[in-house]
Amino acid sequence: MIKQKVLNWLRQFNTFCFLDSCGFSGERFVFLAGAGVKRRVVLAGTGGLNAFADFSEKSGAWLMGHWNYELPTGEGGGYPGQIDAVGFPDGFFFEPEWVLYVKEDRLYIEGEDSERLYNELLQEPLVPALPLQLQQPVRSRVSKETYLETIRQLQAHIHRGDCYEINYCMEFFSEAARMDPFDVYTQLTGSSPNPFSGLYRVDDYWLICASPERFLKKTGSRLISQPIKGTLLRKGTDAESLRAEQQQLANSGKDRAENVMVVDLVRNDLSRICREGSVQVDELFGIYSFAQVHQMISTVSGILEESVTLTDILKAAFPMGSMTGAPKMRVMQLIRQYEKTARGIFSGALGYIQPGGDFDFNVVIRSLMYNAQSHYLSYKVGSGITIYSDPEAEWEECLLKAKAIEAVLKGAHEEEA
């Protein structure tokens, strides 16, 4: 109940970040919210990383925000001319006026007159939701036939030795959507709860996120990354059938090949900023079950060199290997060549930095992006392409990953009818 009251309270703010573990154990916060702006920074172009360094590394306060996939970090970025109709800036961070979080069944409030805010929250009324309306049907930028041909072209690059694996994404969109992002977020996380979910607003730009994937978490000097490669539809209704599905994914040669390649890439990224010999694979090919799918997740960790800053970490590891491929620089060139739209905040990262410098960021996937001024609604899906990929199966995997979002949008059509 307190989570819903905090969400309702956030409606008054033009800028906020709500991060939600959706009940998954092992996460530090049940939820974490920052609202109101003491100060902010907008990152743009090649100077964005320097602006972020100036803003973040002298702070000592809570910071929340995002980096777009295209943020130039030295590994690439900058996609002039590609469509990005949602419009999130390359990056954005703010120091909140208020920080609220729940951990160990207790609500914490940081800000001026926290007792007054607590009493306000107790009285916070429920707000009727505005039904989601799609006056224009959702459609894809890429037809199925074009998608299949693109996968074959990417596999030709792999045959030639240009790369080993590439993550290819496509966009679905509507140019005439009206909705209550709070209600859509509640629906999406209700049907597909995931440990790195979030509702995020920067003026007219909204992110409604139900991500299962962590990009990077720093605790003290320890840095961990948990890339996902390997997805299987969850159909089982009892323990035995679920175990059989989990074993099917665990034994998939194609998924194991994808996963081990991204693990090697992450190990290489972390070795650039961690103490020599400290980078290790804590878990390889872990199988985790969520409401809609089973996922293959590995965990890689390392101990940071003392002089390493967050901008150094970004230069080494962003964008994340699970959303690019290997080798990273070459596949980013191919992504730019073959994808029809800029990714924007999709396959970027959303998260927080604590006072003292610890942080946690997700990978922005399984998400809706929305521009409330233009009424443009977008979601993107993708998969890792290898030499073993079957184009038809990759198409089906993309549709599977969008299943929870499609269900929310289908409900809008039915209500409108």
What was the pLDDT predicted at 76?
52
CATH of the domain at 238: 3.60.120.10
Active site residue 258: no
Domain, as residue range, for 309: 2-416
Catalytic residue of the set 27, 95, 213, 339:
213
Catalytic residue of the set 229, 328, 380, 401:
229
Per-residue pLDDT tens over the stretch 127-168: 766 767 777 788 899 999 999 999 999 999 999 999 999 999
Q: What is the mean pLDDT of the chain?
A: 92
What was the pLDDT predicted at 412?
53
Per-residue pLDDT tens over the stretch 29-78: 999 999 999 999 999 988 899 999 999 987 789 999 999 999 988 655 55
26 pLDDT more than 90: no
Per-residue pLDDT tens over the stretch 295-327: 999 999 999 999 999 999 999 999 999 999 999
Active site residue 229: yes
Name the residue type at position 408. Answer: V
The model carries a pTM of: 0.95
What was the pLDDT predicted at 411?
63
414 pLDDT more than 80: no
CB crowding 338-377: b at 16 or more within 10 Å, else e: bbebbbbbbbbbbbbbbeeeebbbbbbbbbbbbbeeebbb
Domains identified in the chain, total number: 1
CA atoms within 13 A on the CB side of 175: 4
Q: Using 50, 70 and 90 to split pLDDT, how confident is the model at 80?
A: low
| End-to-end Cα separation, the chain, in angstroms | 32
